[in-house]
Structure 1
Amino acid sequence: MTDDLLQQARAHHAAGELSVAESLYRSILATAPDHAEANLGLGEIGLASGQPAQAVGYLQKALNAAPENPQRWLALARALTLAGYPDDAGTVLDEGRKAGVLQDARADQPLPRSAREALDKALKDHARGRTARALKEAERVVGQFPDNGEARKRAGGMQLAAGQFGQALEHLRHAARLLPDDTEVLSNLGGALQKLGYLTQARGCLERAIELDERNAAAHSNLAALLNRLDEHEAARHHAERSLELKPDSPQSLVNLGNALKALSQREKARKCFEKALALDPKSVPALTNLGTLAKEDGDPTEATRWYEQALDLQPSHAETLHNLGTIYKDLGQPNSARQYYERAWAAAPQRLEHAEALTEFKTFTDPEDPLLASLATALQSGRLSRGEKVFAGFGLGKALLDLGRYDDAFACYEMGNKAAYTQPDQSGRYLSGLLHTYRSVCDKDFFRRTEGYGLRETNDIFLLGMSRSGKSLVEGLIACHPGTQPLGEDGAFVDFVKERLRGLEGQIIQTYLKDLDIEHSREDALAWLNQRQGEYRYRTWTLPGNLFYLALLALWLPRTPVVFCRRDLMDLALSCYFKRYAKGHEYTYDLEALGRQIRIYDEFIKLWLEVLPNPMLEVRYEDLVREPEATARRIYDFLGLDFQPGHLAALDQNRELVEHLGPANSLEAPAPLRADFIGFSKPFHDKLEPMMRAYRELEIG
């Protein structure tokens, strides 16, 4: 019966009816798991279907059954390469040669005139945009002459340009063995390795190419892109500029230079690079994507989305653009759309760990063999990760292991991610301690009695303040259920306004402003603030943690503005911060001692403001909010003078399905149900938080 099934499977396989063939092969394996031909058939189907990772196991069994067959060795090596494991593929080929089954590659295999003409035609088709035809012809030539370096080089170069990085890597690695000093091969190989995440190997190839030919513009450009990924932005700038000296009108080199300049805080110069790249090549997806990112960072999600969608019109599977759109929709409070874009990004580039890490926020891990978890674990075990990749792997894998209840392993992963993210000691604590000392010396109760009558009585602001992860977003989401309220989240407008008002002062700036301010200027400043962002909303809420440090000025300008302080259990708060990867800022969260000092400073500021400020103030504990949501909500609404309706809590249920998958360090920028199950989640980790507790207790406040 097995022979009959095998004949049927082969017939359907040969006819291209892969789903039928797959079903028949699986039927054979159900009774004979090690059947060589059935495993081989499933491996070949996996390769043909673009699922090389699934093909590897089947092809390994097929090889074990017939190690004398060279095609079995080559098929397994091909699957490993396409699955993103070129080192393992090289090991398989080396073992095949040692076994005497595979021959060493030869660089002298002749390429007849007809084959050279076919390659030339393929290159012309590729230049004219006939990509599919060009790649098919190049593959045909390589199939006939697998040990010709020129054929491999051309096929690999075209596949690299077409975004088929796994296939490109297979050809270019072979070409590099045949043509070890060919700088074009080395440059393209470095580019393919970089795209697949093999940064150390890529760097070696590109530096070797430049050593052989310092005027290789493509190698300089590729190395600039790689160095940007490694956060070596000055070096990236140097190589991008050198590439442009050699080839002034290279759109990709302009993009690489723009990325380096943006990272070096030269945003306008970066923007000009991206705009020039787009003028040279209106179809430059990297230029469009980077212009979108600049718009996103400028706080214009509509403009950013426009740029990103133009990029996706040209290249629907461009992973970086898909990821960026996911982040925009997440920030806009549209988590379902965010998840869909992150899923597409991971499918397009599974080797890029930032896509996998982003997806971990949207699922609860229950299966230790989950493909997402496996991809993160495999990357971590490879030992080839850059610092940035260790951050993504550590936080993503930490969340997955936390879901599975593997607490020690989860903490170890988070610790690795935090150490990789903590590139320089946080210096904010010293500044904030000094600022607190200044306020204590000036802003006592007598000071605010003397300044009674300063500022304006009207207000449309509500300030929600406390540490990150203290529950501010939950309170804001609850207040946002009331019509006429605009949630502005962690918008930095108030801090920017304060800095603008203090500009030009000398010495101890805050102290000078507080002592010199008179009633007239306090009202001028208050009116200037109120006139910012006027709109149809009755109230607007602000949650930026840094607003806490300028409440004395708010009290002088708008003493009737309500302030809600959000508090949380110290251990839960600290661990929630430590387990969260912040997109920017919050560097103190990456080190437990710095985190402990920061929480203590926040607590001291809140204590001071509660003692001296004239504003209406309310303390809300995270634990009360999630355990008794209606009672706490009524208390908040009564404090603000708003009419509470039970339906306000019901409005929070719209994202219940996604919230169920969030970890204790994650949150949605959208109305969300209140969960009490994170209370006390830090208990299994109390011993590991001792450095935080010690720093919290021992901080000397002047």
Structure 2
Amino acid sequence: MRSNKTAAIELIRDNLQNKAFECALRDCELQLARIPGDAELWSLKGQALQGLGRLEDAAASFRRGLERNPGNARLLVLLGHVYTRQGRGEEAVASYSRALASDPGLTDAYRGLLNFQEIPADGAEAAELLAMALNERRSSSSRARALFLLGQIFVDAGLDRAGFAFFAQANALVARSIERGKREYQVAAAAAAMTAGFFRRHARLEPALPVCPAIIVAGLPRSGKSLVENLLAGHPLVTPGGELALVRKLVGDLDQRSGLETVAAKLRETTVSPLPQYCPTLAAGTRYLVDTSPANLSRLGYLALLHPEVPIIFCRRQPLDLGLALFFKNFRSGHRYSYQLETAGRAIALAEKLTRHWRQALPNPMLEVAYEDLVGDPRGTQQALFANLGLPPTGSARVPATDSTWRVFPSRSIDSVGAISADLVGFAGRFQTQLEPLARAYAAESARPGLGTRATAAGRSRDHRS
């Protein structure tokens, strides 16, 4: 039988996963009143506070936990993550270094350090990671994490061939655990049926639903979605939400057994939108909530049936740069297409075709942002976004300030920490030979009509979920 503490921690973790941060925080405080020295509870409380955007309170929680559990490696890494998001590079490095002193095998600490400094390819840290990667007693996912880190270490050192080889080994380890039929990026068959004529037939009946506060930023991971969100969040009327997956949750709750036309008719006639139940509370005085989940892209038609007023911003990026960033990224879950060059190439082509399809079909206000334009002119892109969304001009809008300690790399996701930089544009040119399989697959899928790949027969996948 599970202990009360175990059951409580499972509930807190579920709430964190579902972004119910207030509930998670309340339960943490109740448990800490009973078990004030528990390191895991201090860890979970800090994560809940971080989810609420209360970074200083989160750091204080991790420090309180460390007072009671000196040298706890997990708390040190989490504290380093908060310092990273606050732009406190020196303190982040110190925290990650202390974590590694306690546990030299903690890959999250190496990953955190690489945000700020190179790790020598011929040093003790790289040797430790190589030993982890070669240790067949470790799980495949653990060995893959070490290989991904070695890849970055060697690329940072200019040893591109060796670095790419480590990334290739890491991806092969992960791909080995994925069924062949689930390695492709899939687009639901319903998407192709949702044409401009379909939306005219199913235009909402009066009265319209109350306006939904969402802004959907759609695209594959690493295409610039979080950069767009960061620019939008510079306006006082916009709340960043991260990967809320509002549209995926909406579609997941629909009973689609009766067919698309019946589902569309029910959505058209509904008088109460289910979307608010998935939305966290908007920050006081704000008008919009941004959702950047990649899982929304193939499901946007369902959103349009309910809320044709919701703005959609599509993000695109030069295919080779995007493909390299996907291949270099060790995703915690999903995105199974990213672990092979050919499937990544097809995924990028399919996402581009899907974007073109939606831009021709959806009744929503839409805008497309190219990663290269955004990083080349962040301020101009920000002002264009505000204008297109009808946001009033503001002299207080911020663009991320330069942080000279932050190091860019194709796989990195914490884009709001340092300055928006154009340093990664064209980065894939260093690996043009290695990326030839991706380029060929991208070209073949781009030339193929329709929204499905040749590889769909092996079974439907959900690998584009966040």
If the TM-score is normalised by the length of the shorter chain, which range does it land in? 0.7 to 0.9
1:473 CA displacement: 1.1
1:440 corresponds, among 172, 189, 192, to: 192
The aligned runs of 1:99-498 (5 Å cut-off) are 283=37, 285=39, 288=41, 308-309=62-63, 311-327=65-81, 336=89, 338-364=92-118, 368-377=121-130, 379-380=132-133, 385-422=138-175, 423-425=177-179, 432-433=186-187, 435=188, 437-441=189-193, 443-454=194-205, 455-456=208-209, 458-498=211-251
Aligned to 2:311: 562
The verdict on how the C-alpha distance between 1:538 and 1:546 changes in structure 2, with shifts beyond 3 A counting, is same
Equivalent in 407, 410, 416 of residue 670 of structure 1: 416
CA distance in 1, matches of 2:116, 2:217: 26
Q: CA RMSD in A?
A: 4.1
Structure 1, 381-390 or 457-466: larger mean CA deviation:
381-390
3-state SS of 2:286 partner: coil
Q: Distance in 2 between matches of 1:647 and 1:536?
A: 15
Unaligned runs of 5+ in 1: 1-240, 268-273
Report the CA distance shift for 1:560/1:339 in structure 2 as closer, same or farther (over 3 A).
farther
Distance 2:303 2:65 in 1: 43
Instruction: Give the whole-Å Cα distance in 2 for the aligned partners of 1:645 and 1:288.
Output: 41
Q: Hey, what's the Cα distance between the residues in 1 that align with 2:170 and 2:278?
A: 42
Q: Which of 404, 414, 418 is matched with 1:657 structurally? A: 404
- Mark the structure with the bigger radius of gyration: 1
Paired position in structure 2 for 1:41: none
- Alpha-carbon distance in 2 for matches of 1:419, 1:358: 24
User: Could you give the per-residue CA deviations for residues 346-396 of structure 1, whole angstroms, max 9, x where no partner exists?
Assistant: 12212333322332222245x554554454345446776542332222111
Distance 2:218 2:156 in 1: 30
Residue from 436, 439, 447 that aligns with 1:693: 439
Matched-pair contact (CA < 8 Å) for 1:477–1:671: no
Provide the residue aligned with 1:537 in structure 2: 286
- Identity of aligned pairs, percent? 30
For structure 2, list consecutive stretches of 5 or more residues without a partner in the other structure: 19-27, 453-466
TM-score (norm 1): 0.53
Q: Which structure carries more helix by proportion?
A: 1
Q: Does 1:682 align with 2:432?
A: no
The answer on 1:525 being equivalent to 2:277 is no
How far is 1:648 from its partner? 3.8
CA deviations over 1:485-540 (Å, ceiling 9, x no partner)? 1111112344324423x1xx252665541144334x1x421784698624431222
| CA–CA distance in structure 2, aligned partners of residues 293 and 583 of structure 1 | 20
User: Match of 2:191, SS?
Assistant: helix
Q: Show the counterpart of 2:456.
A: none
Helix, strand or coil: the match of 1:657?
Answer: coil
**Displacement, 1:605?**
1.8
1:578 Cα deviation from its structure 2 partner: 0.9
Looking at structure 2, the residues matched to 647 and 451 of structure 1 have their Cα atoms a distance apart, in angstroms, of 41
**Cα displacement string for residues 89-137 of structure 1 (whole angstroms, at most 9, x for unaligned residues):** xxxxxxxxxxxxxxxxxxxxxxxxxxxxxxxxxxxxxxxxxxxxxxxxx
Distance 1:289 1:386, change over 3 A: farther
Secondary structure of 1:614's aligned partner: coil
**SS at structure 2 position matched to 1:582:** coil
- Once the two structures are superposed, what CA deviation does each residue of 1:21-66 show, in whole Å capped at 9, x if it has no partner? xxxxxxxxxxxxxxxxxxxxxxxxxxxxxxxxxxxxxxxxxxxxxx
Q: Distance in 1 between matches of 2:35 and 2:212?
A: 50
**What is the match of residue 237 of structure 1?**
none
Return the offset for 1:345.
Answer: 1.1
Distance 1:569 1:421 in 2: 25
Q: Secondary structure at the match of 1:687?
A: coil
Q: Quote how far apart the aligned CAs of 1:685 are.
A: 1.6
What TM-score, normalized by structure 2, do the two folds share? 0.77
Distance in 1 between residues matched to 2:335 and 2:322, nearest whole Å: 14
Determine if contact 1:466/1:545 at 8 Å carries over to the other structure. Answer: yes
Residue 605 (structure 1) aligned to one of 338, 342, 354: 354
CA distance in 2, matches of 1:278, 1:481: 36
Would you say the 8 A contact 1:292–1:305 is kept in 2?
A: no
Task: Check whether the contact 2:182–2:336 (CA below 8 A) recurs between aligned residues.
Answer: no
Tell me if structure 2 keeps the 8 A contact 1:296–1:304. Answer: yes
